[in-house]
């Protein structure tokens, strides 16, 4: 899906245009606030931006924006142990509601692409696991 520039909305005192990048950021933030989302999957370009020290708030989001409607694609990483269909449905509802309330655009579709599952890693081994680890490694 490509990012298209929105047409201008004319008012009596001027025009209003919401940049597609704004829609991408809103969709990205609405996605990561859903429980069960470990992160966004942005591919190679997003990884380069993060290596350069920039936080890419639209990572993993593609939009098509018209004058009155928007279609959104989000690519995510799910936390292990969550029901994927429930997480995806929550993302669809939250993204649709957030974009419609903030921009006035009608969201015609929100497509959720699951790219990975993230497993929780223990921060520190339990005391008995530490002893076992010490005995095994010499």
Q: Lowest-confidence range among 17-21, 27-31, 32-36, 108-112?
A: 17-21
**Looking at residue 21, what is its pLDDT?**
94
* Band of residue 16 on the pLDDT scale cut at 50, 70, 90: confident
**Looking at residue 136, what is its pLDDT?**
60
Q: Give 77's contacts (C-beta < 8 A, 6+ positions apart).
A: 37, 38, 39, 40, 41, 114, 115, 116, 117, 118
Mean pLDDT of the 90-116 span: 96
Average pLDDT of the residues of the chain: 82
Residues 26-84: tens digit of each pLDDT: 999 999 999 999 999 875 444 444 444 446 778 899 999 988 999 999 999 999 999 99
Query: pTM for this one?
Result: 0.74
Percent share of the chain, pLDDT over 70: 72
Q: Give 58's contacts (C-beta < 8 A, 6+ positions apart).
A: 21, 24, 25, 27, 28
**Looking at residue 24, what is its pLDDT?**
95
């Amino acid at each position: 899906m490509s990012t298209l520039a929105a047409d201008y909305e004319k008012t009596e005192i001027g025009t209003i245009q919401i940049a597609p990048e704004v829609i991408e950021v809103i969709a990205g933030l609405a996605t990561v606030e859903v429980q069960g989302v470990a992160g966004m999957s942005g591919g190679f370009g997003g990884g380069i931006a993060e290596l350069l020290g920039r936080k890419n708030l639209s990572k993993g989001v593609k939009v098509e924006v018209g004058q009155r409607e928007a279609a959104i694609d989000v690519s995510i990483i799910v936390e292990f142990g969550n029901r994927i269909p429930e997480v995806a449905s929550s993302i669809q509802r939250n993204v649709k509601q957030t974009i419609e309330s903030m921009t006035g655009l009608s969201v015609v579709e929100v497509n959720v692409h699951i790219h990975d599952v993230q497993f929780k890693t223990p921060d520190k081994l339990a005391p008995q696991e530490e002893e076992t680890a010490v005995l095994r490694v010499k």
